[in-house]
Amino acid sequence: MAIERTFSIIKPDATKRNLTGKINAKFEEAGLRIVAQKRIQMTLEQAGQFYAVHKERPFYGELCEFMVSEPVVVQVLEGEGAILKNREVMGATNPADAEDGTIRKEFALSVGENSVHGSDAPETAAEEIAFFFSGLEIVG
């Protein structure tokens, strides 16, 4: 499988509980390399644009408010099959459905406050990386 890059966010529920290091350890243990990372306070406009695909969903407003409620850590992860591998390490959207050992199983509070975001496909990974990072900020 090819070396890929994917986009990740450590969400407000996790930064608030000081879990950045524990979550990064999960990525690194799975063979994902953190090739870019910064802690930011998202604006409501950025959150709304980032999650525009969910605009019509009932949870959209609450999700955007949550994403701006505390700082987040945005990241680029690199590795063999990184997009799928990251989704596996994250676990299911709803922590109640997540496999043992996954980030969401161990750390998520609810389906909304679920500790991490990860891109779901090569196209979204490229778009999401470009939304938060310039090429110069990514050092593989």
Select from Mg ion, ligand CDP, none the partner in contact with residue 84, using the beta carbon and a kind-dependent cut-off of 5 to 8 Å: none
How near is the Cβ of 120 to ligand CDP at its closest, in Å? Answer: 6
Kindly report the number of other CB atoms within 10 A of residue 79's CB atom: 20
- Segment near ligand CDP (CB under 6 A); pick from 2-10, 27-35, 109-117, 130-138: 109-117
Q: Cα 50 from chain centroid? A: 12
Q: Is 93 in the site for ligand CDP (CB under 6 A)?
A: yes
Q: What angle do CA 63, 121, 96 make, to 5 degrees?
A: 50
Q: Applying CB under 5 A, which residues contact Mg ion?
A: 120
Which residues, including other chains, have CB under 8 Å from residue 107's CB and lie 6 or more apart?
14, 17, 19, 22, 23, 115
Report the partner that residue 34 touches, choosing among ligand CDP, Mg ion, none (CB closer than 5 to 8 A by kind).
none
User: What kind and span of H or E run contains 74?
Assistant: strand 72-80
Q: Does 43 bind ligand CDP (CB under 6 A)?
A: no
54 is catalytic: no
Is residue 120 part of the contact set for ligand CDP (CB under 6 A)?
yes
